Amino acid sequence: MCGSWCSCSDERAVIVIFEIRHVQNGVVLRVEMDGSESGEELVWQERYNDEVEAFAEFLRDVVEQYGPATNRYSPQRISIRIEPGDKYEPDMSAKPIEQ
């Protein structure tokens, strides 16, 4: 998975290229700024058994590290959240777990 992000100002555009590689127990994020040949690689190890929660946490970290600075009072902000599938039906035949 590879993508790019452009931050434009009055003076010049800054181009950031993200490359995400899935590895055995996490992901590797490669970041190149302004077309530099050498980028930095960050290894992110999954801390959850739930793959969806782990990837959402990774995206939150990417937004915090590289995304625009926003807060609750900003006109717009980025929010990463997990929602249930709109067509998901839980298995009602499963036995409840006794505690």
Mind listing the pLDDT tens digit for each residue in 71-96?
Answer: 889 999 999 999 988 888 877 776 66
> What pLDDT is attached to residue 73?
92
52 domain residue, yes or no: yes
95 domain residue, yes or no: no
**CA gap 83, 16 in Å, rounded:** 29
92 domain residue, yes or no: no
Helices (H) and strands (E) in the chain, counts: 1, 4
62 domain residue, yes or no: yes
Mean residue pLDDT across the chain: 80
* Whether the Cβ atoms of residue 13 and residue 6 lie closer than 8 Å to each other: yes
pLDDT at 99 over 80: no
86 domain residue, yes or no: no
Count of domains for the chain: 1
**CA gap 13, 53 in Å, rounded:** 33
For residue 96, what are its two tokens? 């409840």
77 domain residue, yes or no: no
81 domain residue, yes or no: no
Q: Which residues constitute the domain of residue 34?
A: 2-66
Judging by beta carbons within 10 Å of its beta carbon (0-12, 13-18, 19+), is residue 29 exposed, middle or buried?
buried
